[in-house]
Amino acid sequence: MNRKLQQRMTLPLIAACLVLAGCSSNTSSSPGPTTAFAVMRLTSAGVLDTTFAAGSGVAITDIDPGLFDFALAAAVQPADNKILAGGSSGLAGQGVVALVRYNANGSLDTAGFGTTGTGGIVRTTVPNVTAASASAIAVQPADNKIVVAALTFTASTGNTGIALIRYNTNGALDTTFGGTGIVTAAIGPGLASDTCTLALQGTNIIVAGASSTNGTLVLYRYAMNGTPDMTFGTNGTTVTPLPGALSPAIAFQSSGKIILVSGTNSDQAVLRYSADGILDTTFGTAGIAVTNAGGADFANAVAVQSDDKIVVAGHANVNFQTDASDISLVRYTVDGAPDTTFGPNSDGIVTTDLFGKFDNAFSVALQTPNATPTNILVSGNTGSGGFSQAVVLRYDSTGALDTTFSQPSGFAILPVFGPSNIASGNAVVLQTNVGIIVAGYD
């Protein structure tokens, strides 16, 4: 299993971040309880919001009882503050794409999304693959149509791919997109536990994935009707060799340049491309900035500040023998150098060990994206020994934990509400003028 996602979603029976998107640390091989989608809301101060989800603060959606349901991505619709959570529902690497929409108050959107009898929930089977899982969501600002990138895996070939799916606002497949609502692209040899990413670039859609078996990153760009944009990269595609490549995350700098984060040989890797998909050799070293945040480490999520500094969240000091890892946060200057104004050692690196267990970060968001200083939100999980909980941390602009958040700790550990004894916060997004949304599983 991909070690990055093994911490994100290490469930015994599963082989399994402009709007961007983005599981547990149980290492037991014995069967465990199945999981459900979990969507939580915190106040801006880091307190569980009891006005959300009928007073609990956590909306649990068991899409298919008896199966593993987990969300890897989330987005908030700008028009109405409704919440989208996407992931998978299934068993043993055979899941289908699952998409759930909640009203702004955390109730299922049973009236406006999905079909009669399954209101609020949409399942999508991608043809000719063994498994598919949504790992990124974006909402088109012009028409509020929903775009989802799902990682696909075909067991007979060992190959992964991307299914780019577009839905109408009611959750029906948009057949004006690629003719069926689904457009597929190849990544290469990989694992069912890999993930992919997407971002909206004006009237285009960029998707990216990593061939984790042979070590390459692949980017594609599509027009809004689902046709490949042949002006991007080489005939619509950019392929970058990267030994040890892992599932990527994507963001943009103000210049329009594309930032992609991944991993290489157990270190974090940040790459920069031109707006048209050409590797920018002025960035880092020949277009790639590699950082050892501590021991074996992985980059899972990225955000770009208003000053174009790059914030990367993941985990460091990963040790599966001792069941331990640390949350890592790394900040780079606009051109990929370590930001010496960030971190206790002035090297751009912050690691956080909460309890000496598995502490993992899977998503990052800027709570004050256009302000100085910028507050940085990170979500993930913490735990060991078959038990984990979702965690949200807030850092100030220097990389120190913000002790005014979930006062006085700087981090909030969320209670377990769902059918499982393992939980994770896999995506963190902001609900405008309301609070902090965290999606994952429980």
In this predicted structure, what is the pLDDT of residue 18?
26
Q: Is 16's pLDDT higher than 70?
A: no
195-254 pLDDT tens trace? 999 999 999 999 999 999 999 999 999 999 999 999 999 999 999 999 999 999 999 999
Q: Is 116's pLDDT higher than 90?
A: no
Cβ 328 vs Cβ 313: under 8 Å: yes
Domain count, the chain: 1
Question: Does the CA dihedral 292-151-303-363 come out positive or negative?
Answer: negative
pLDDT tier at 32, thresholds 50, 70, 90:
low
In this predicted structure, what is the pLDDT of residue 273?
98
Token pair for residue 405? 């958040």
Q: Is 6's pLDDT higher than 60?
A: no
Backbone φ, ψ for residue 6 (5° rounding): -60, -35
* DSSP secondary structure string for all residues of 279-291: B-TTTTBTTEEEE
**End-to-end Cα spacing for the chain:** 21
Rounded-to-integer distance, Cα 323 and Cα 320, Å: 5
We report the CATH number of the domain holding residue 30 as 2.130.10
* DSSP secondary structure string for all residues of 143-170: T--EEEEEEEEETTTTEEEEEEEEE-TT
Cβ 266 vs Cβ 206: under 8 Å: no
Q: Is 29's pLDDT higher than 50?
A: no
Token pair for residue 261? 């984060």
317-373 pLDDT tens trace? 998 888 899 999 999 999 999 999 999 999 999 999 998 889 999 999 999 766 667
Contacts of 249 by beta carbon, 8 Å cutoff, 6+ apart: 17, 20, 22, 197, 260, 261, 262, 299, 300, 301, 302
Cβ 168 vs Cβ 203: under 8 Å: no
379-431 pLDDT tens trace? 999 998 788 999 999 999 999 999 999 999 999 999 888 899 899 999 999 99
In this predicted structure, what is the pLDDT of residue 194?
93
144-197 pLDDT tens trace? 999 999 999 999 999 999 999 999 999 999 999 999 999 999 999 999 989 999
Cβ 117 vs Cβ 154: under 8 Å: no
* DSSP secondary structure string for all residues of 4-30: HHHHHS--TT------B---------S
43-71 pLDDT tens trace? 999 999 999 999 999 999 999 998 999 99
| Residue of 148, 146, 131, 137 lying closest to 89 (CA atoms) | 131
121: β partners? 100
Q: Is 1's pLDDT higher than 70?
A: no
% residues pLDDT > 90 (the chain): 81
pTM confidence score: 0.92
371: containing domain: 3-441
Q: Is 24's pLDDT higher than 70?
A: no
